[in-house]
């Protein structure tokens, strides 16, 4: 199957700083990328959907200014958590779907963010 690489896998940052998470599709072009947040022992919560070259669509309750999403190319999307606070600590996962409207989305390995 197709490979989605997410980096970093773990990051610790200080309160008030910003942190960027990258999501790359390695062997296919991803027209659509999705960003999820997962709390311990819970399911995935969709934060936003991004299409290459256009603004991301955020789910209700997700702060656009706090979680900046950029999808500048067909192989790269980034999520920047701005002015991070301890309550932003979570597991963030991206997924990507290819061109041609394929049925399957492929997932990255996830990023464990800890804000101290």
| Degrees to nearest 5, angle at CA 86 with 82 and 87 | 85
3-state secondary structure of 113: strand
List the one residue from 67, 77, 97, 115 that touches other proteins (CB under 8 A): 97
Reading the block at residue 41, the tokens are: 């022992």
Considering the rule CB under 8 A, would residue 56 count as an interface residue with other proteins?
no
With binding defined as CB under 8 A, does residue 27 bind other proteins?
A: no
The residues, any chain, with a CB within 8 Å of residue 5's CB and separated by 6 or more, are: 23, 24, 25, 26, 108, 109
Q: Does 11 bind other proteins (CB under 8 A)?
A: no
Q: Does 4 bind other proteins (CB under 8 A)?
A: yes
Where does this chain bind other proteins (CB under 8 A)? 1, 4, 6, 9, 32, 34, 41-44, 46, 49, 91, 93, 95, 97, 103-110, 112
């Amino acid at each position: 199957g197709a490979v989605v690489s997410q980096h970093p896998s773990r990051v610790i940052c200080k309160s008030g700083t910003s942190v960027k998470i990258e999501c790359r599709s390695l062997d296919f072009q991803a027209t659509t990328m999705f960003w999820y947040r997962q709390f311990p022992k819970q399911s995935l919560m969709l934060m936003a959907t991004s299409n290459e070259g256009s603004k991301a669509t955020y789910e209700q309750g997700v702060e656009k200014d706090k979680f900046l999403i950029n999808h500048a190319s067909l192989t790269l999307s980034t999520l920047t958590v701005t002015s991070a606070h301890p309550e932003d600590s979570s597991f963030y996962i991206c997924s990507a779907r290819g061109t041609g409207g394929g049925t399957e989305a492929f997932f990255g390995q996830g990023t464990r963010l800890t804000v101290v």
